[in-house]
């Protein structure tokens, strides 16, 4: 009975658009009322971000990184921008300046986008299914254009608009049918020979799987938790490399590079794939 009541309350809160906020209040309560945590966040907000751009409010940080920790938001964004995206491109003789138009798919509240503000000759776009995050980006990151998408395709961009699309920790929160649909849609949005970079939870996450999940993973099958919560952090997806190669990527893309997750590099646990549109 208690479980039925909990599911009813969760459903009612979800219909009112309040579920995420209530979970934020509950899960983050201990950290928010920690004196040291409050002090660190307050000090960072007073100092401001190194790039001079506004810092999103704690609730938006939590939606993106699962924590209202300001320093973690800024540090993880910088590492993803420079250590994951730019370094992977450089390994393949590519730079951001090489591209005319870039899409940050699943842009959140600009955790990565903010690091591209000095690109002078590249058109920048962001897209996210959460309109609250998109509104914040539109207001505070005027050097890029932002649009809202639904949890399922299509995007509101014409075919072949982008030279480069990146999706950091997006496919890690999508049910399998949505993964296939978005791979097709991003192929549509890319120019011929355009590039797609995305990250997934691979071998570095094996220890976090149950024994039955690990067996599926080792057999090359996708592991999906809470698929009905697609798009949210509660939906967690784990991708064996063979699944990516044999099922998800298929014949529409060529694998240019693969960088396995590295536990020794902070915020770099996920595998990174760089694909070229055929």
> What six digits make up the tokens of 76?
């993880």
pTM of the model: 0.88
- Please name the residue that has the structure tokens 């996450």: 205
Same domain, 56 and 154: no
Residues 232 and 261 occupy one common structural domain: yes
Give mean pLDDT, residues 17-25. Answer: 55
Q: What is the pLDDT of residues 209-233, one digit of tens each?
A: 999 999 999 999 999 999 988 988 8
Residue 31 confidence (pLDDT) above 60: no
Same domain for 51 and 128? no
Residue 61 neighbours by CB under 8 Å, 6+ apart: 67, 68, 69, 70, 73, 109
Task: Provide the residue range defining the domain that includes 55.
Answer: 2-73
155 and 231 inside one domain: yes
Same domain, 118 and 45: no
Side-chain half-sphere CA neighbours of 207 within 13 A: 3
> Looking at the structure, do residues 140 and 207 belong to the same domain, yes or no?
yes
User: Is residue 29 located within the same domain as residue 88?
Assistant: no
Residue-wise pLDDT for 68-114, tens only, equals 899 999 999 999 999 999 999 999 999 999 999 999 999 999 999 99
Residues 164 and 136 in one domain: yes
State how many domains the chain has. Answer: 2
| CB distance 266 to 75 below 8 Å | yes
Quick one: 57 and 109 in the same domain?
A: no
Regarding whether 162 and 267 lie in a shared domain, the answer is: yes
Judgement on whether residues 266 and 160 belong to the same structural domain of the protein: yes
């Amino acid at each position: 009975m208690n479980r039925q009541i909990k599911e009813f309350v969760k459903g009612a809160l979800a219909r009112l658009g309040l579920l995420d906020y209530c979970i934020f209040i509950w899960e983050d309560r201990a950290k928010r009322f920690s004196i040291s945590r409050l002090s660190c966040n307050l000090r960072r907000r007073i100092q401001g971000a190194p790039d001079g751009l506004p810092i999103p409010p704690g609730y938006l940080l939590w939606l993106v990184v699962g924590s209202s920790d300001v320093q973690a938001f800024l540090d993880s964004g910088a590492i993803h921008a420079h250590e994951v995206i730019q370094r992977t491109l450089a390994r393949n003789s590519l730079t951001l300046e090489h591209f005319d138009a870039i899409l940050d798919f699943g842009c959140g509240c600009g955790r990565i986008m903010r690091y591209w503000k000095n690109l002078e000759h590249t058109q920048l776009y962001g897209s996210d299914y959460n309109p609250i995050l998109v509104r914040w980006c539109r207001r505070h990151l005027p050097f890029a254009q932002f649009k809202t998408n639904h949890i399922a395709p299509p995007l509101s961009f014409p075919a072949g608009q982008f030279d480069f699309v990146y999706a950091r920790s997006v496919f890690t929160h999508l049910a399998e049918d949505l993964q296939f649909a978005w791979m097709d849609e991003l192929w549509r949005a890319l120019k011929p020979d355009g590039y797609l970079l995305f990250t997934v939870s691979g071998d570095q996450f094996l220890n976090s799987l149950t024994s039955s999940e690990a067996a599926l993973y080792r057999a090359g099958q996708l592991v999906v938790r809470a698929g009905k919560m697609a798009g949210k952090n509660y939906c967690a997806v784990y991708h064996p490399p063979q699944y990516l190669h044999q099922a998800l990527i298929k014949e529409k893309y060529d694998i240019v590079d693969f960088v396995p997750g590295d536990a020794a590099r902070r915020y770099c646990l996920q595998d990174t794939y760089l694909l070229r549109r055929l």
